[in-house]
Amino acid sequence: MHALAAQERVLGPDYPDTLMSLNNLAELYAAQYRHGEAEPLLKRALEARERVLGREHPDTLLSVSDLAEVYQDLGRYGEAELLLKRALEARERVLGREHPQTIVSVNDLALQGAPLYPHQPQQSGSSLSGPGSLWRGRTALQARFGGTRARAW
């Protein structure tokens, strides 16, 4: 928190490095199950990155994905799905279908639509009906590039 405050003071609140620190702090809070603290930081980072870097910049899309993950953890699946779709569509346009970050987005969205356990019912309100075409796309890309879940940043 002190490093972020110093960056905001010295570099400014909208400087890209400051926004990365803000996003990283939010990720730390989320990893510690402090979602109530993570969510407003991620929203702040996302809004600033959209304004400074643009809606489809890779760093902006990282904030989109991170906020979606927090929404998933909070059980806000509809909101998470919208953000995951946004990240995937933009990464396909900007980075290409086979870029590692795009593959992560395919994986994230596929897992959003798949029950975590076989006995778990499908989340209502989700437009995905389980592991369908996105899941097959994820599997094909994994076979080609190896691995199941690797962050590409």
- Name the residue ranges covered by the structural domains of the chain: 2-116+125-145
What string of H, E and C letters represents the secondary structure of the chain? CHHHHHHHHHCCCCCHHHHHHHHHHHHHHHHCCCHHHHHHHHHHHHHHHHHHCCCCCHHHHHHHHHHHHHHHHCCCHHHHHHHHHHHHHHHHHHHCCCCHHHHHHHHHHHHHHCCCCCCCCCCCCCCCCCCCHHHHHHHHHHHHHCCCCCCCC
pLDDT digits (tens, 9 = 90+) for 7-28: 999 999 999 999 999 999 999 9
- The average confidence (pLDDT) of the chain is 82
Task: Write down the pLDDT at residue 144.
Answer: 54
Of residues 54 and 138, which shows the higher confidence score?
Answer: 54
Q: Which stretch of 3-17, 67-81, 92-106, 121-135 has the lowest confidence by average pLDDT? A: 121-135
Range with the lowest mean pLDDT among 6-15, 65-74, 79-88, 121-130? 121-130
Pick the CATH number of 2-116+125-145 from 1.10.10.10, 3.40.50.150, 1.25.40.10, 3.90.550.10: 1.25.40.10
Provide the whole-model pTM: 0.74
**pLDDT tens per residue, range 106-153:** 999 888 865 444 444 444 444 444 444 444 454 555 555 554 444 444
